[in-house]
Amino acid sequence: MKIIIVGGGKIGATLIESLEGEGHDIIFVDCDQKVVDEMNNIYDVMCVCGNAVDNDTLDEAQVSAADLLIAVTNSDEINMLICFIAKKMGAAYTVARVRNPEFNDKRMEQVKQYLDISLTINPELLAASEIFNILKLPAAINIETFSRRNFSMIELSLKDGSHLDGMSLIDLRKKYDLNFLISVVKRGDEVYIPDGNFVLKCGDHICLTANFIEIQKLLKTLGLAKKQSKSVMILGATTTSYYLAKMLLRSGTDVTIIDKDINRCNQFAEELPGAVIINGDGAEQEVLMEEGITSVDAFTALTGIDEENILISFFAQSQNVPRVVAKVNRNELASMAEKLGLDSIVSPKKAAANVVTSYARALQNSLGSNVETMYKLMDGSVEALEFNVQSDFKAQHIPLKEMKLKKDVLIAGIIRKRKAFVPTGNDEIIAGDKVVIIAKSDDQKMNDLSDILR
């Protein structure tokens, strides 16, 4: 597809990288010549320097022939205006980044309808939701959800002394009579889509899929269940912090937010009356100790500086805080922090890229079994995709054990009439189902459910 991306920065660059990797024809637009030159040097994309609110700039970017325009500048209002103009000039679909909490769900739906915007993305809200899910299930490193949370995938790290060490997956399923599936294993730099003979080892990172109730039962059985976080300390009064604090307060969690900007503190104190707002430099260990970091259930670093988030998160871990989560956008820093042992890392730009990439795949699809949700797992080497099954899917009513799947493809879950389950070889796929597929992303690109078949 021909896709126009307006706006550089972390989100714009991540979208270019992700969508270019999908084989789309990308045109990048920004009004800053330095940003345009940088993108032109890094990526193999057409670049246009100019104000995308101007018709001439959009004409130069060939907006009338665009299948999709994505506006991710720093201004919500400009993003929405660009989408409105682009749609009037012939763009088929538009996506706008809208971050301001003032645009609540009801108001946003009205704006989308009035301006004919196809999709809005809020990276900070996506990141906050991801952190909230992790804090609800503290044993998990990461959590992804499908079909409106009916089905989940959690990432776990097998620590020394784990009950699963040395156990094959087939023996694991026999021992624990629960409906779950270990769908991905990362061991060192190698990533596997395992079969039943695969033997787990301490140090493995595993992705486990099941409905949420089954996951809770399994973690309890394995002795991995931990109490949900009832007190959370947040470093940084950022937009992500605001969204996360709202979710936590709504769930009855005690929230403390620390920031050195007195104006941000005053704003948060007014907007979040249930939270404790501390004006202080959270990069200073004395401040964190004084505010009780050793007694909280969880700590999350959400400042705008990756390095600060990583370092203070390691300090929180050294103080034996049960759950630590850091916001890190730079890929190289996230990878390094993970290898050094940081509990959980969340990236707003990756969360947004996942949403937009899955949306682009759904638009590109012509067979009907559209991608509804997509996540990149294990440093992007594996994809988890949720498909809607339409009546023209040719492998309906065939037992899964008889279905001829491509290599490194796994059917991890089926959601049928709001009931989610891990299928057996005797189960079948039928129209109306939602199906969760796990596949190595370097082997094939899944646009449609039929792509899983040989």
Domain end point (choices 296, 321, 346): 321
pTM score > 0.75 for this model? yes
Q: Helices 239-250 and 123-136: crossing angle, nearest 10°?
A: 40
Confidence at residue 2, expressed as pLDDT on a 0 to 100 scale: 95
The residue-averaged pLDDT of 115-126 equals 93
* Contact partners, residue 214, CB within 8 Å, separation at least 6: 178, 179, 180, 422
Query: Which is more confident, 370 or 199?
Result: 199
7 and 112 co-located in one domain? yes
Write out the two tokens for 14.
């991540």
178 and 243 co-located in one domain? no
Of 180-194, 283-297, 440-454, where does mean pLDDT reach its minimum? 440-454
CA distance 274 to 295: 19
8 and 116 co-located in one domain? yes
211 and 161 co-located in one domain? yes
- SS3 at position 439: strand
Residue 112 covered by a domain: yes
Confidence at residue 212, expressed as pLDDT on a 0 to 100 scale: 83
Cα-Cα-Cα-Cα dihedral sign, residues 58, 355, 357, 359: negative
217 and 317 co-located in one domain? no
pLDDT over 80 (residue 365): no
Confidence at residue 174, expressed as pLDDT on a 0 to 100 scale: 86
112 and 153 co-located in one domain? no
- The per-residue pLDDT for range 177-210, each reduced to its tens digit, is 888 999 999 998 899 999 999 999 998 999 999 9
- The per-residue pLDDT for range 309-358, each reduced to its tens digit, is 999 999 999 999 999 999 999 988 988 898 888 879 999 999 999 899 88
Residue 335 covered by a domain: no
- The per-residue pLDDT for range 219-260, each reduced to its tens digit, is 888 877 777 889 999 999 999 999 999 999 999 999 999 999
- The per-residue pLDDT for range 126-164, each reduced to its tens digit, is 999 999 999 988 888 888 888 776 788 999 888 888 888
Strands 119-121 and 93-97: parallel
Query: Which is more confident, 11 or 418?
Result: 11
Domain end point (choices 268, 295, 321): 321
115 and 8 co-located in one domain? yes
Whichever domain contains 42, its CATH number is 3.40.50.720
The percent of residues above 90 in pLDDT, for the chain, comes to 65
Domain end point (choices 321, 347, 365): 321
Confidence at residue 105, expressed as pLDDT on a 0 to 100 scale: 67
One-letter amino acid identity for 205? H
State which residues form the domain around 71. 2-121
Residue 342 covered by a domain: no
Confidence of residue 28 (pLDDT cuts 50, 70, 90): very high
Confidence of residue 367 (pLDDT cuts 50, 70, 90): very low
CA distance 279 to 289: 14
17 and 93 co-located in one domain? yes
155 and 186 co-located in one domain? yes
CA distance 304 to 402: 51
Contact criterion met (CB below 8 Å) for 140 and 168: no
Chain length of the chain = 454
CA distance 268 to 379: 34
Residue 339 covered by a domain: no
- SS3 at position 331: helix
- SS3 at position 92: coil
Query: Which is more confident, 369 or 393?
Result: 393
Domains held by the chain: number: 4
241 and 209 co-located in one domain? no
Confidence of residue 390 (pLDDT cuts 50, 70, 90): confident
96 and 172 co-located in one domain? no
Cα-Cα-Cα-Cα dihedral sign, residues 260, 329, 374, 122: positive
Contact criterion met (CB below 8 Å) for 84 and 95: no
Confidence at residue 436, expressed as pLDDT on a 0 to 100 scale: 94
Whichever domain contains 409, its CATH number is 3.30.70.1450
DSSP annotation of 377 reads E
Confidence at residue 104, expressed as pLDDT on a 0 to 100 scale: 67
Residue 135 covered by a domain: no
Residue 292 covered by a domain: yes
Confidence at residue 101, expressed as pLDDT on a 0 to 100 scale: 84
Write out the two tokens for 220.
């309890």
86 and 169 co-located in one domain? no
DSSP annotation of 433 reads -
CA distance 372 to 23: 19
- The per-residue pLDDT for range 167-176, each reduced to its tens digit, is 999 998 888 8
Residue 129 covered by a domain: no
**pLDDT winner (highest mean) among 70-79, 102-111, 154-163, 433-442:** 70-79
β-strand partners of 434: 388, 415
Residue 128 covered by a domain: no
CA distance 93 to 87: 7
